[in-house]
Structure 1
Protein backbone atom coordinates (compact mmCIF):
# COMPACT_ATOMS: atom_id res chain seq x y z
CA UNK A 1 0.00 0.00 0.00
CA UNK A 2 1.28 3.45 -0.93
CA UNK A 3 -0.26 6.75 0.10
CA UNK A 4 0.56 10.40 -0.37
CA UNK A 5 -0.69 13.79 -1.51
CA UNK A 6 -1.18 15.39 -4.91
CA UNK A 7 -1.26 19.13 -5.60
CA UNK A 8 -4.52 20.23 -7.26
CA UNK A 9 -6.23 23.58 -7.74
CA UNK A 10 -7.03 24.81 -4.24
CA UNK A 11 -4.84 22.48 -2.18
CA UNK A 12 -3.63 18.90 -1.82
CA UNK A 13 -5.63 15.69 -2.07
CA UNK A 14 -4.79 12.46 -0.27
CA UNK A 15 -4.59 9.17 -2.17
CA UNK A 16 -3.86 5.52 -1.48
CA UNK A 17 -2.78 2.82 -3.94
CA UNK A 18 -3.40 -0.84 -3.10
CA UNK A 19 -1.25 -3.51 -4.81
CA UNK A 20 0.80 -0.95 -6.72
CA UNK A 21 3.05 -3.63 -8.26
CA UNK A 22 0.20 -5.50 -9.98
CA UNK A 23 0.33 -5.48 -13.78
CA UNK A 24 -3.39 -5.23 -14.59
CA UNK A 25 -5.00 -1.98 -15.73
CA UNK A 26 -5.47 0.17 -12.59
CA UNK A 27 -8.90 0.97 -11.16
CA UNK A 28 -9.50 4.56 -10.04
CA UNK A 29 -12.36 4.97 -7.57
CA UNK A 30 -14.37 8.22 -7.38
CA UNK A 31 -16.29 8.49 -4.12
CA UNK A 32 -19.76 9.87 -3.55
CA UNK A 33 -20.92 13.04 -1.89
CA UNK A 34 -20.07 15.68 -2.84
CA UNK A 35 -17.93 15.95 0.29
CA UNK A 36 -18.28 12.42 1.65
CA UNK A 37 -14.68 11.07 1.27
CA UNK A 38 -13.46 7.63 0.24
CA UNK A 39 -13.68 6.33 3.82
CA UNK A 40 -16.68 4.03 3.34
CA UNK A 41 -15.17 2.61 0.12
CA UNK A 42 -11.94 1.32 1.64
CA UNK A 43 -13.23 -2.25 1.31
CA UNK A 44 -12.74 -1.92 -2.44
CA UNK A 45 -9.05 -2.58 -1.81
CA UNK A 46 -10.14 -6.22 -2.11
CA UNK A 47 -10.49 -5.61 -5.87
CA UNK A 48 -6.71 -5.20 -6.00
CA UNK A 49 -6.05 -8.80 -7.00
CA UNK A 50 -4.56 -8.42 -10.46
CA UNK A 51 -4.56 -4.63 -10.63
CA UNK A 52 -3.73 -1.57 -8.54
CA UNK A 53 -6.77 0.05 -6.94
CA UNK A 54 -6.53 3.78 -6.26
CA UNK A 55 -8.80 5.70 -3.91
CA UNK A 56 -8.49 9.38 -3.11
CA UNK A 57 -10.35 11.96 -1.08
CA UNK A 58 -11.60 14.79 -3.23
CA UNK A 59 -10.57 18.25 -2.14
CA UNK A 60 -12.57 19.49 0.83
CA UNK A 61 -13.11 16.18 2.63
CA UNK A 62 -11.46 13.13 4.15
CA UNK A 63 -7.70 13.46 4.61
CA UNK A 64 -7.42 16.08 1.87
CA UNK A 65 -7.13 19.82 2.41
CA UNK A 66 -10.28 21.78 3.31
CA UNK A 67 -9.84 25.24 1.83
CA UNK A 68 -12.49 27.84 2.63
CA UNK A 69 -12.77 29.20 -0.91
CA UNK A 70 -16.34 28.35 -2.00
CA UNK A 71 -15.52 29.02 -5.65
CA UNK A 72 -13.69 25.68 -5.67
CA UNK A 73 -16.85 23.60 -5.27
CA UNK A 74 -17.86 23.18 -8.91
CA UNK A 75 -18.14 20.17 -11.19
CA UNK A 76 -15.57 21.62 -13.61
CA UNK A 77 -12.92 21.93 -10.89
CA UNK A 78 -13.57 18.38 -9.68
CA UNK A 79 -13.25 17.15 -13.28
CA UNK A 80 -9.91 18.97 -13.51
CA UNK A 81 -8.91 17.34 -10.22
CA UNK A 82 -9.49 13.82 -11.62
CA UNK A 83 -7.18 14.68 -14.51
CA UNK A 84 -4.47 15.97 -12.17
CA UNK A 85 -4.68 12.85 -9.99
CA UNK A 86 -4.48 10.67 -13.07
CA UNK A 87 -1.49 12.60 -14.43
CA UNK A 88 0.40 12.59 -11.12
CA UNK A 89 -0.04 8.82 -10.75
CA UNK A 90 0.72 8.18 -14.45
CA UNK A 91 -2.57 6.39 -15.05
CA UNK A 92 -2.29 6.37 -18.83
CA UNK A 93 -4.65 3.41 -19.01
CA UNK A 94 -7.32 3.19 -16.34
CA UNK A 95 -10.71 1.81 -15.41
CA UNK A 96 -12.97 4.17 -13.45
CA UNK A 97 -15.49 3.21 -10.78
CA UNK A 98 -17.74 6.01 -9.57
CA UNK A 99 -20.28 5.72 -6.79
CA UNK A 100 -23.28 8.09 -6.50
CA UNK A 101 -21.93 11.65 -7.06
CA UNK A 102 -18.77 9.86 -8.19
CA UNK A 103 -20.73 8.70 -11.26
CA UNK A 104 -21.63 12.32 -12.04
CA UNK A 105 -17.92 13.08 -11.89
CA UNK A 106 -16.94 9.97 -13.89
CA UNK A 107 -19.34 10.84 -16.71
CA UNK A 108 -18.30 14.50 -16.84
CA UNK A 109 -14.62 13.49 -16.83
CA UNK A 110 -15.12 10.93 -19.60
CA UNK A 111 -16.88 13.49 -21.81
CA UNK A 112 -13.89 15.84 -21.42
CA UNK A 113 -10.96 13.36 -21.36
CA UNK A 114 -11.94 9.94 -22.77
CA UNK A 115 -8.48 8.86 -23.90
CA UNK A 116 -7.05 5.86 -22.06
CA UNK A 117 -10.22 5.01 -20.12
CA UNK A 118 -10.85 1.30 -20.59
CA UNK A 119 -14.25 1.10 -18.92
CA UNK A 120 -16.57 2.88 -16.51
CA UNK A 121 -18.56 1.41 -13.64
CA UNK A 122 -21.54 3.56 -12.67
CA UNK A 123 -22.37 2.30 -9.18
CA UNK A 124 -25.69 3.71 -7.89
CA UNK A 125 -25.58 6.42 -10.56
CA UNK A 126 -26.65 10.05 -10.37
CA UNK A 127 -26.51 11.12 -14.02
CA UNK A 128 -29.45 13.51 -13.92
CA UNK A 129 -30.08 15.80 -10.95
CA UNK A 130 -33.72 16.45 -11.97
CA UNK A 131 -34.40 12.71 -12.27
CA UNK A 132 -32.66 12.02 -8.94
CA UNK A 133 -34.86 14.62 -7.26
CA UNK A 134 -37.96 13.11 -8.86
CA UNK A 135 -36.96 9.62 -7.70
CA UNK A 136 -36.40 10.75 -4.09
CA UNK A 137 -39.82 12.36 -3.99
CA UNK A 138 -41.27 9.00 -5.14
CA UNK A 139 -39.19 7.14 -2.55
CA UNK A 140 -40.49 9.50 0.11
CA UNK A 141 -44.08 8.39 -0.59
CA UNK A 142 -43.12 4.86 0.49
CA UNK A 143 -42.39 6.04 4.03
CA UNK A 144 -44.86 6.64 6.91
CA UNK A 145 -47.00 9.76 6.52
CA UNK A 146 -45.51 11.51 9.54
CA UNK A 147 -42.00 11.09 8.11
CA UNK A 148 -43.11 12.52 4.77
CA UNK A 149 -44.78 15.48 6.47
CA UNK A 150 -41.76 16.23 8.68
CA UNK A 151 -39.41 16.29 5.69
CA UNK A 152 -41.73 18.41 3.55
CA UNK A 153 -42.43 20.83 6.41
CA UNK A 154 -38.72 21.18 7.28
CA UNK A 155 -37.83 21.94 3.67
CA UNK A 156 -40.66 24.46 3.32
CA UNK A 157 -39.73 26.22 6.59
CA UNK A 158 -35.96 26.07 6.09
CA UNK A 159 -35.50 23.95 9.24
CA UNK A 160 -33.48 21.11 7.71
CA UNK A 161 -31.00 21.50 10.58
CA UNK A 162 -33.66 20.54 13.16
CA UNK A 163 -33.54 17.32 15.18
CA UNK A 164 -36.98 16.34 13.82
CA UNK A 165 -35.71 16.55 10.25
CA UNK A 166 -32.54 14.60 11.12
CA UNK A 167 -34.60 11.82 12.71
CA UNK A 168 -36.85 11.67 9.64
CA UNK A 169 -33.77 11.47 7.40
CA UNK A 170 -32.52 8.54 9.48
CA UNK A 171 -35.73 6.67 8.60
CA UNK A 172 -35.23 7.51 4.91
CA UNK A 173 -31.59 6.35 5.10
CA UNK A 174 -32.60 3.09 6.78
CA UNK A 175 -34.78 2.34 3.76
CA UNK A 176 -32.81 3.72 0.81
CA UNK A 177 -29.15 4.25 1.81
CA UNK A 178 -28.01 1.37 4.04
CA UNK A 179 -30.38 -1.35 5.25
CA UNK A 180 -27.96 -3.11 7.59
CA UNK A 181 -29.10 -3.35 11.19
CA UNK A 182 -27.37 -2.39 13.32
CA UNK A 183 -25.82 0.36 11.22
CA UNK A 184 -22.10 -0.49 10.78
CA UNK A 185 -20.09 1.00 13.64
CA UNK A 186 -17.10 1.83 11.42
CA UNK A 187 -19.32 4.04 9.25
CA UNK A 188 -20.36 6.05 12.31
CA UNK A 189 -16.70 6.48 13.21
CA UNK A 190 -15.92 7.93 9.78
CA UNK A 191 -18.45 10.75 10.03
CA UNK A 192 -15.74 13.35 10.72
CA UNK A 193 -14.30 12.75 7.23
CA UNK A 194 -17.37 14.33 5.64
CA UNK A 195 -17.73 17.99 4.74
CA UNK A 196 -21.45 18.92 4.66
CA UNK A 197 -20.57 22.44 3.45
CA UNK A 198 -19.42 21.13 0.05
CA UNK A 199 -22.62 19.09 -0.25
CA UNK A 200 -24.70 22.14 0.69
CA UNK A 201 -23.14 24.31 -2.03
CA UNK A 202 -23.24 21.73 -4.79
CA UNK A 203 -26.48 19.90 -3.94
CA UNK A 204 -28.41 21.68 -1.20
CA UNK A 205 -29.79 21.03 2.29
CA UNK A 206 -31.33 17.63 1.46
CA UNK A 207 -31.64 14.86 -1.13
CA UNK A 208 -35.17 15.88 -2.06
CA UNK A 209 -34.77 19.31 -3.59
CA UNK A 210 -31.62 20.18 -5.54
CA UNK A 211 -30.76 23.80 -4.85
CA UNK A 212 -26.99 23.79 -5.40
CA UNK A 213 -24.90 24.31 -8.52
CA UNK A 214 -25.57 20.74 -9.73
CA UNK A 215 -29.26 21.58 -10.05
CA UNK A 216 -29.31 21.46 -13.86
CA UNK A 217 -26.81 18.62 -14.35
CA UNK A 218 -28.19 16.02 -16.75
CA UNK A 219 -26.00 14.03 -19.10
CA UNK A 220 -28.69 11.51 -20.10
CA UNK A 221 -28.67 12.48 -23.76
CA UNK A 222 -24.88 12.21 -23.93
CA UNK A 223 -24.74 8.60 -22.68
CA UNK A 224 -24.92 7.42 -26.30
CA UNK A 225 -21.41 8.91 -26.72
CA UNK A 226 -19.88 6.41 -24.27
CA UNK A 227 -18.23 3.88 -26.57
CA UNK A 228 -16.33 1.84 -23.96
CA UNK A 229 -17.63 -1.10 -21.88
CA UNK A 230 -19.87 0.25 -19.14
CA UNK A 231 -21.43 -1.40 -16.11
CA UNK A 232 -24.43 0.06 -14.30
CA UNK A 233 -25.30 -1.29 -10.85
CA UNK A 234 -27.68 -0.37 -8.05
CA UNK A 235 -29.42 -1.90 -5.07
CA UNK A 236 -32.99 -3.11 -5.25
CA UNK A 237 -33.93 -0.46 -2.66
CA UNK A 238 -31.47 2.18 -3.84
CA UNK A 239 -31.92 5.95 -3.96
CA UNK A 240 -30.52 5.42 -7.44
CA UNK A 241 -33.61 3.45 -8.40
CA UNK A 242 -33.44 0.29 -10.53
CA UNK A 243 -35.80 1.92 -13.04
CA UNK A 244 -33.59 4.97 -13.55
CA UNK A 245 -30.36 2.97 -13.50
CA UNK A 246 -31.68 0.59 -16.16
CA UNK A 247 -32.90 3.59 -18.17
CA UNK A 248 -29.35 5.00 -18.18
CA UNK A 249 -27.94 1.63 -19.21
CA UNK A 250 -30.32 1.44 -22.17
CA UNK A 251 -29.07 4.85 -23.31
CA UNK A 252 -25.47 3.57 -23.32
CA UNK A 253 -24.41 1.46 -26.35
CA UNK A 254 -22.02 -1.04 -24.74
CA UNK A 255 -23.57 -1.34 -21.29
CA UNK A 256 -24.57 -4.07 -18.87
CA UNK A 257 -26.79 -3.75 -15.80
CA UNK A 258 -26.89 -5.49 -12.41
CA UNK A 259 -29.16 -5.17 -9.37
CA UNK A 260 -27.95 -6.14 -5.88
CA UNK A 261 -31.15 -7.66 -4.52
CA UNK A 262 -30.47 -7.15 -0.80
CA UNK A 263 -29.02 -3.65 -0.94
CA UNK A 264 -29.94 0.00 -0.93
CA UNK A 265 -27.33 2.65 -1.84
CA UNK A 266 -24.26 0.98 -0.30
CA UNK A 267 -24.09 -2.45 -1.93
CA UNK A 268 -20.32 -2.49 -1.45
CA UNK A 269 -21.04 -2.68 2.31
CA UNK A 270 -24.44 -4.37 2.32
CA UNK A 271 -23.42 -7.22 -0.05
CA UNK A 272 -19.62 -6.94 -0.16
CA UNK A 273 -18.84 -10.40 -1.56
CA UNK A 274 -21.43 -10.16 -4.30
CA UNK A 275 -20.26 -6.62 -5.10
CA UNK A 276 -16.64 -7.74 -5.48
CA UNK A 277 -17.66 -10.68 -7.66
CA UNK A 278 -19.67 -8.50 -10.04
CA UNK A 279 -16.90 -5.89 -10.30
CA UNK A 280 -14.11 -8.44 -10.76
CA UNK A 281 -16.06 -10.35 -13.39
CA UNK A 282 -16.72 -7.20 -15.41
CA UNK A 283 -13.13 -5.95 -15.20
CA UNK A 284 -11.62 -9.35 -15.96
CA UNK A 285 -13.73 -9.76 -19.08
CA UNK A 286 -12.40 -6.43 -20.40
CA UNK A 287 -8.79 -7.20 -19.54
CA UNK A 288 -8.97 -10.50 -21.39
Structure 2
Protein backbone atom coordinates (compact mmCIF):
# COMPACT_ATOMS: atom_id res chain seq x y z
CA UNK A 1 0.00 0.00 0.00
CA UNK A 2 1.18 3.52 -0.72
CA UNK A 3 0.72 6.31 1.79
CA UNK A 4 0.53 10.07 1.54
CA UNK A 5 3.68 11.77 2.76
CA UNK A 6 3.08 13.65 6.03
CA UNK A 7 4.13 17.24 6.57
CA UNK A 8 7.70 17.45 7.88
CA UNK A 9 9.89 19.84 9.82
CA UNK A 10 13.66 19.30 10.07
CA UNK A 11 15.80 21.07 12.67
CA UNK A 12 18.68 20.72 15.10
CA UNK A 13 19.01 21.11 18.85
CA UNK A 14 22.20 21.96 20.70
CA UNK A 15 23.44 19.09 22.85
CA UNK A 16 26.09 19.96 25.40
CA UNK A 17 28.40 16.96 25.79
CA UNK A 18 31.17 16.93 28.34
CA UNK A 19 34.39 15.70 26.81
CA UNK A 20 33.29 16.12 23.20
CA UNK A 21 35.80 18.88 22.59
CA UNK A 22 33.42 20.77 20.31
CA UNK A 23 29.81 21.93 20.10
CA UNK A 24 27.37 19.13 19.34
CA UNK A 25 23.96 19.10 17.72
CA UNK A 26 21.21 16.49 17.40
CA UNK A 27 19.36 16.55 14.09
CA UNK A 28 15.68 15.63 14.19
CA UNK A 29 12.66 15.47 11.93
CA UNK A 30 8.97 15.79 12.85
CA UNK A 31 6.31 14.09 10.73
CA UNK A 32 2.84 15.53 11.25
CA UNK A 33 1.71 18.27 13.63
CA UNK A 34 3.02 18.43 17.20
CA UNK A 35 0.24 20.92 17.99
CA UNK A 36 -2.57 18.58 16.90
CA UNK A 37 -3.35 17.49 20.45
CA UNK A 38 -2.40 13.88 19.68
CA UNK A 39 0.35 12.44 21.85
CA UNK A 40 3.58 12.28 19.80
CA UNK A 41 5.69 9.18 19.21
CA UNK A 42 9.47 9.43 19.50
CA UNK A 43 11.31 6.73 17.51
CA UNK A 44 14.78 5.53 18.47
CA UNK A 45 16.90 3.95 15.76
CA UNK A 46 19.24 1.02 16.24
CA UNK A 47 22.93 0.35 15.88
CA UNK A 48 24.15 2.00 18.00
CA UNK A 49 25.20 4.36 15.25
CA UNK A 50 22.90 3.09 12.48
CA UNK A 51 21.14 6.38 11.53
CA UNK A 52 17.39 6.82 11.34
CA UNK A 53 16.83 6.03 7.65
CA UNK A 54 15.84 2.37 7.95
CA UNK A 55 13.03 3.19 10.43
CA UNK A 56 11.56 5.89 8.16
CA UNK A 57 8.49 3.76 7.26
CA UNK A 58 7.30 4.50 10.79
CA UNK A 59 6.64 8.06 9.63
CA UNK A 60 3.43 6.87 8.00
CA UNK A 61 1.84 6.56 11.44
CA UNK A 62 1.32 10.30 10.97
CA UNK A 63 -0.74 9.46 7.88
CA UNK A 64 -2.57 6.30 9.00
CA UNK A 65 -3.28 7.21 12.62
CA UNK A 66 -2.64 10.99 12.80
CA UNK A 67 0.16 10.39 15.33
CA UNK A 68 2.95 12.99 15.20
CA UNK A 69 6.21 11.06 14.74
CA UNK A 70 9.65 12.31 15.76
CA UNK A 71 12.86 10.70 14.57
CA UNK A 72 16.43 11.79 15.09
CA UNK A 73 19.95 10.75 14.30
CA UNK A 74 21.74 9.95 17.52
CA UNK A 75 25.05 11.65 18.18
CA UNK A 76 27.85 10.37 15.98
CA UNK A 77 25.84 9.34 12.91
CA UNK A 78 23.75 10.67 10.03
CA UNK A 79 22.87 14.35 10.14
CA UNK A 80 23.93 14.86 13.78
CA UNK A 81 27.43 15.83 14.93
CA UNK A 82 30.10 13.28 14.09
CA UNK A 83 32.99 12.53 16.40
CA UNK A 84 35.29 10.13 14.51
CA UNK A 85 38.13 11.07 16.83
CA UNK A 86 36.24 9.19 19.56
CA UNK A 87 36.50 5.82 17.77
CA UNK A 88 37.18 3.14 20.36
CA UNK A 89 36.52 5.45 23.32
CA UNK A 90 34.19 3.33 25.42
CA UNK A 91 34.19 5.85 28.24
CA UNK A 92 32.63 8.43 25.92
CA UNK A 93 30.08 6.35 23.99
CA UNK A 94 27.82 5.15 26.80
CA UNK A 95 24.15 4.39 27.36
CA UNK A 96 24.07 7.40 29.69
CA UNK A 97 25.20 9.68 26.86
CA UNK A 98 22.31 8.62 24.66
CA UNK A 99 19.80 8.82 27.52
CA UNK A 100 20.91 12.41 28.09
CA UNK A 101 20.50 13.14 24.39
CA UNK A 102 16.94 11.79 24.44
CA UNK A 103 16.07 13.87 27.50
CA UNK A 104 17.59 16.94 25.84
CA UNK A 105 15.41 16.46 22.75
CA UNK A 106 12.22 15.89 24.76
CA UNK A 107 12.84 19.09 26.71
CA UNK A 108 13.64 21.06 23.55
CA UNK A 109 10.42 19.96 21.87
CA UNK A 110 8.41 20.62 25.02
CA UNK A 111 6.87 17.13 25.01
CA UNK A 112 8.55 15.78 28.15
CA UNK A 113 5.20 15.67 29.99
CA UNK A 114 3.37 13.50 27.43
CA UNK A 115 4.90 11.23 24.80
CA UNK A 116 5.10 7.63 23.59
CA UNK A 117 8.40 5.94 22.77
CA UNK A 118 9.31 3.30 20.21
CA UNK A 119 12.80 1.82 20.12
CA UNK A 120 14.01 -0.61 17.46
CA UNK A 121 16.93 -3.00 18.19
CA UNK A 122 19.50 -0.89 20.09
CA UNK A 123 16.80 1.78 20.20
CA UNK A 124 14.63 -0.64 22.19
CA UNK A 125 17.47 -1.21 24.63
CA UNK A 126 17.80 2.55 25.01
CA UNK A 127 14.03 2.98 25.30
CA UNK A 128 13.86 0.31 28.00
CA UNK A 129 16.64 2.02 29.97
CA UNK A 130 14.72 5.29 29.69
CA UNK A 131 11.49 3.63 30.87
CA UNK A 132 13.25 1.97 33.82
CA UNK A 133 13.82 5.46 35.25
CA UNK A 134 10.01 5.90 35.22
CA UNK A 135 9.87 9.34 33.57
CA UNK A 136 6.58 11.05 34.36
CA UNK A 137 5.70 11.93 30.77
CA UNK A 138 6.15 8.49 29.19
CA UNK A 139 2.72 7.05 28.39
CA UNK A 140 3.39 3.92 26.30
CA UNK A 141 6.50 2.04 25.22
CA UNK A 142 7.17 -0.10 22.15
CA UNK A 143 10.21 -2.39 22.25
CA UNK A 144 10.87 -3.74 18.77
CA UNK A 145 13.41 -6.51 18.06
CA UNK A 146 15.57 -5.81 21.14
CA UNK A 147 17.48 -7.74 23.82
CA UNK A 148 17.49 -7.14 27.56
CA UNK A 149 20.82 -8.99 27.72
CA UNK A 150 23.59 -8.99 25.11
CA UNK A 151 24.83 -12.34 26.40
CA UNK A 152 21.44 -13.79 25.50
CA UNK A 153 21.64 -12.02 22.12
CA UNK A 154 24.99 -13.68 21.37
CA UNK A 155 23.69 -17.11 22.43
CA UNK A 156 20.76 -16.69 20.04
CA UNK A 157 23.01 -15.43 17.23
CA UNK A 158 25.37 -18.36 17.66
CA UNK A 159 22.40 -20.69 17.28
CA UNK A 160 21.27 -18.95 14.08
CA UNK A 161 24.79 -19.10 12.69
CA UNK A 162 24.70 -22.89 12.99
CA UNK A 163 21.97 -22.92 10.34
CA UNK A 164 24.08 -21.05 7.78
CA UNK A 165 25.83 -23.03 5.01
CA UNK A 166 29.07 -24.60 6.33
CA UNK A 167 31.29 -22.57 4.00
CA UNK A 168 29.68 -19.34 5.23
CA UNK A 169 30.25 -20.35 8.85
CA UNK A 170 33.88 -21.14 8.07
CA UNK A 171 34.43 -17.78 6.39
CA UNK A 172 32.94 -15.90 9.33
CA UNK A 173 34.98 -17.80 11.91
CA UNK A 174 38.22 -17.43 9.97
CA UNK A 175 37.99 -13.67 9.60
CA UNK A 176 36.83 -13.19 13.18
CA UNK A 177 39.80 -15.19 14.42
CA UNK A 178 42.23 -13.39 12.11
CA UNK A 179 40.90 -9.90 12.90
CA UNK A 180 40.02 -9.29 9.24
CA UNK A 181 36.32 -8.56 9.62
CA UNK A 182 36.74 -5.55 7.33
CA UNK A 183 37.43 -7.86 4.34
CA UNK A 184 35.00 -8.21 1.39
CA UNK A 185 34.78 -11.96 2.05
CA UNK A 186 33.54 -11.36 5.59
CA UNK A 187 31.04 -8.78 4.33
CA UNK A 188 29.65 -11.24 1.79
CA UNK A 189 29.31 -14.01 4.39
CA UNK A 190 27.78 -11.56 6.86
CA UNK A 191 25.16 -10.63 4.25
CA UNK A 192 23.98 -14.24 4.08
CA UNK A 193 23.06 -13.93 7.77
CA UNK A 194 21.48 -10.51 7.20
CA UNK A 195 19.27 -11.71 4.35
CA UNK A 196 17.86 -14.44 6.60
CA UNK A 197 17.61 -12.76 9.99
CA UNK A 198 17.88 -8.97 9.61
CA UNK A 199 16.06 -7.86 6.43
CA UNK A 200 14.44 -10.39 4.13
CA UNK A 201 13.35 -7.85 1.49
CA UNK A 202 15.58 -8.30 -1.55
CA UNK A 203 16.93 -6.22 -3.08
CA UNK A 204 17.31 -4.19 0.08
CA UNK A 205 15.01 -1.12 0.24
CA UNK A 206 16.48 2.34 -0.19
CA UNK A 207 15.93 3.21 3.48
CA UNK A 208 18.03 0.18 4.47
CA UNK A 209 20.75 1.06 1.96
CA UNK A 210 20.88 4.66 3.20
CA UNK A 211 21.50 3.47 6.77
CA UNK A 212 24.16 1.01 5.60
CA UNK A 213 25.86 3.82 3.69
CA UNK A 214 25.83 5.99 6.82
CA UNK A 215 27.53 3.25 8.87
CA UNK A 216 30.10 2.70 6.12
CA UNK A 217 30.81 6.45 6.00
CA UNK A 218 31.32 6.66 9.78
CA UNK A 219 31.32 3.51 11.87
CA UNK A 220 32.62 5.23 15.01
CA UNK A 221 29.66 4.48 17.28
CA UNK A 222 28.75 1.11 15.80
CA UNK A 223 32.28 -0.28 15.98
CA UNK A 224 32.92 1.09 19.47
CA UNK A 225 29.70 -0.04 21.13
CA UNK A 226 28.66 -3.03 19.03
CA UNK A 227 31.46 -4.43 16.90
CA UNK A 228 31.97 -5.49 13.28
CA UNK A 229 28.58 -7.16 12.76
CA UNK A 230 25.15 -7.88 14.23
CA UNK A 231 26.35 -11.23 15.54
CA UNK A 232 30.01 -10.66 16.44
CA UNK A 233 29.77 -8.38 19.47
CA UNK A 234 33.13 -7.01 20.60
CA UNK A 235 32.14 -3.50 21.68
CA UNK A 236 31.20 -2.00 25.02
CA UNK A 237 27.62 -3.27 24.83
CA UNK A 238 28.76 -6.89 25.09
CA UNK A 239 28.09 -6.73 28.84
CA UNK A 240 24.74 -4.90 28.55
CA UNK A 241 22.21 -6.55 30.86
CA UNK A 242 19.04 -5.02 32.31
CA UNK A 243 17.19 -8.29 33.00
CA UNK A 244 17.02 -7.57 36.74
CA UNK A 245 15.74 -4.01 36.16
CA UNK A 246 13.07 -4.57 33.53
CA UNK A 247 10.37 -4.98 36.20
CA UNK A 248 10.74 -1.25 36.90
CA UNK A 249 9.03 -0.50 33.58
CA UNK A 250 5.51 0.42 34.68
CA UNK A 251 3.98 1.85 31.49
CA UNK A 252 1.97 -0.33 29.08
CA UNK A 253 4.48 -1.93 26.74
CA UNK A 254 4.21 -3.54 23.30
CA UNK A 255 6.84 -6.12 22.31
CA UNK A 256 7.51 -6.76 18.63
CA UNK A 257 9.67 -9.25 16.78
CA UNK A 258 9.60 -11.28 13.59
CA UNK A 259 9.32 -15.02 13.05
CA UNK A 260 12.83 -15.02 11.54
CA UNK A 261 14.24 -12.29 13.79
CA UNK A 262 17.78 -12.36 15.15
CA UNK A 263 15.96 -10.99 18.22
CA UNK A 264 14.48 -14.43 18.86
CA UNK A 265 11.71 -15.23 21.32
CA UNK A 266 14.47 -16.30 23.75
CA UNK A 267 16.00 -12.83 23.46
CA UNK A 268 12.67 -11.02 23.96
CA UNK A 269 11.55 -13.24 26.83
CA UNK A 270 12.88 -11.22 29.79
CA UNK A 271 10.72 -8.24 28.82
CA UNK A 272 7.59 -10.39 28.57
CA UNK A 273 8.21 -12.11 31.89
CA UNK A 274 9.01 -8.98 33.90
CA UNK A 275 6.87 -6.11 32.59
CA UNK A 276 3.41 -6.19 34.14
CA UNK A 277 1.42 -4.41 31.41
CA UNK A 278 2.70 -6.23 28.36
CA UNK A 279 1.51 -7.32 24.90
CA UNK A 280 3.61 -9.30 22.43
CA UNK A 281 3.09 -9.40 18.64
CA UNK A 282 5.23 -11.50 16.30
CA UNK A 283 5.22 -10.71 12.57
CA UNK A 284 4.82 -13.87 10.52
CA UNK A 285 6.84 -12.80 7.47
CA UNK A 286 9.53 -10.63 9.06
CA UNK A 287 12.99 -10.90 10.50
CA UNK A 288 14.63 -7.98 12.34
CA UNK A 289 13.04 -5.07 10.44
CA UNK A 290 9.25 -5.57 10.24
CA UNK A 291 8.79 -1.87 9.47
CA UNK A 292 10.48 -2.63 6.13
CA UNK A 293 9.32 -6.22 5.65
CA UNK A 294 5.62 -5.93 6.60
CA UNK A 295 5.02 -2.19 6.61
CA UNK A 296 1.22 -2.30 6.40
CA UNK A 297 0.86 -4.76 9.28
CA UNK A 298 3.49 -2.92 11.33
CA UNK A 299 1.59 0.35 11.02
CA UNK A 300 -1.70 -1.35 11.86
CA UNK A 301 -0.33 -3.04 14.97
CA UNK A 302 1.67 -0.11 16.33
CA UNK A 303 -0.86 2.57 15.43
CA UNK A 304 -3.71 0.55 16.90
CA UNK A 305 -1.81 -0.03 20.12
CA UNK A 306 -0.87 3.61 20.60
CA UNK A 307 -4.37 4.92 19.87
CA UNK A 308 -6.17 2.38 22.09
CA UNK A 309 -7.23 3.80 25.43
Q: Which residue of 2 aligns with 1:51?
A: 67
After superposition, the Cα gap between the structure-2 partners of 1:169 and 1:246, relative to the gap in structure 1 and judged at 3 Å, is same
Q: CA deviation at 1:62?
A: 1.0
Aligned length: 286
Distance, in Å, in 1 between the alignment partners of 2:159 and 2:219 is 24
1:14 and 2:35 are equivalent in the alignment: no
Q: Assess if the C-alpha contact under 8 Å between 1:31 and 1:38 holds in 2.
A: yes
Distance, in Å, in 1 between the alignment partners of 2:67 and 2:138 is 15
Aligned equivalent of 2:251, options 192, 207, 228:
228
Give matches, 1:135-174, under 5 Å. Answer: 135-174=156-195
1:32 and 2:53 are equivalent in the alignment: no
Q: What secondary structure does 1:221 align onto?
A: coil
Distance, in Å, in 1 between the alignment partners of 2:143 and 2:41 is 13
- TM-score, normalised by the number of residues in structure 1: 0.95
Distance, in Å, in 1 between the alignment partners of 2:254 and 2:233 is 26
Q: Which residue of 1 aligns with 2:107?
A: 87
Distance, in Å, in 2 between the alignment partners of 1:181 and 1:51 is 30
Q: Assess if the C-alpha contact under 8 Å between 2:225 and 2:236 holds in 1.
A: yes
Distance, in Å, in 2 between the alignment partners of 1:86 and 1:12 is 14
- TM-score, normalised by the number of residues in structure 2: 0.88
Q: What secondary structure does 1:182 align onto?
A: coil
Q: CA deviation at 1:113?
A: 5.2
Task: Specify every segment of 5 or more residues in structure 1 that has no aligned partner in the other structure, as ranges.
Answer: none
Q: CA deviation at 1:189?
A: 4.1
Q: Assess if the C-alpha contact under 8 Å between 1:246 and 1:257 holds in 2.
A: no
1:244 and 2:270 are equivalent in the alignment: no
After superposition, the Cα gap between the structure-2 partners of 1:212 and 1:189, relative to the gap in structure 1 and judged at 3 Å, is closer
Task: Specify every segment of 5 or more residues in structure 2 that has no aligned partner in the other structure, as ranges.
Answer: 1-7
Between 1:77-86 and 1:48-57, the stretch displaced more is 48-57
Which deviations, in whole Å up to 9, do the C-alpha atoms of 1:65-90 show, x marking residues without a partner?
10235253211111111100111011
Distance, in Å, in 2 between the alignment partners of 1:275 and 1:173 is 20
Q: What secondary structure does 1:243 align onto?
A: helix
Q: Which residue of 2 aligns with 1:67?
A: 83
Q: CA deviation at 1:253?
A: 1.0
After superposition, the Cα gap between the structure-2 partners of 1:204 and 1:190, relative to the gap in structure 1 and judged at 3 Å, is closer
Distance, in Å, in 1 between the alignment partners of 2:211 and 2:84 is 21
Q: Assess if the C-alpha contact under 8 Å between 1:23 and 1:51 holds in 2.
A: no
Aligned equivalent of 1:107, options 128, 135, 139:
128
Q: Assess if the C-alpha contact under 8 Å between 2:142 and 2:255 holds in 1.
A: yes
Distance, in Å, in 2 between the alignment partners of 1:80 and 1:51 is 24
Q: What's the C-alpha RMSD, in Å, of the aligned pairs? A: 1.5
Q: Assess if the C-alpha contact under 8 Å between 1:23 and 1:50 holds in 2.
A: no
Between 1:273-282 and 1:192-201, the stretch displaced more is 192-201
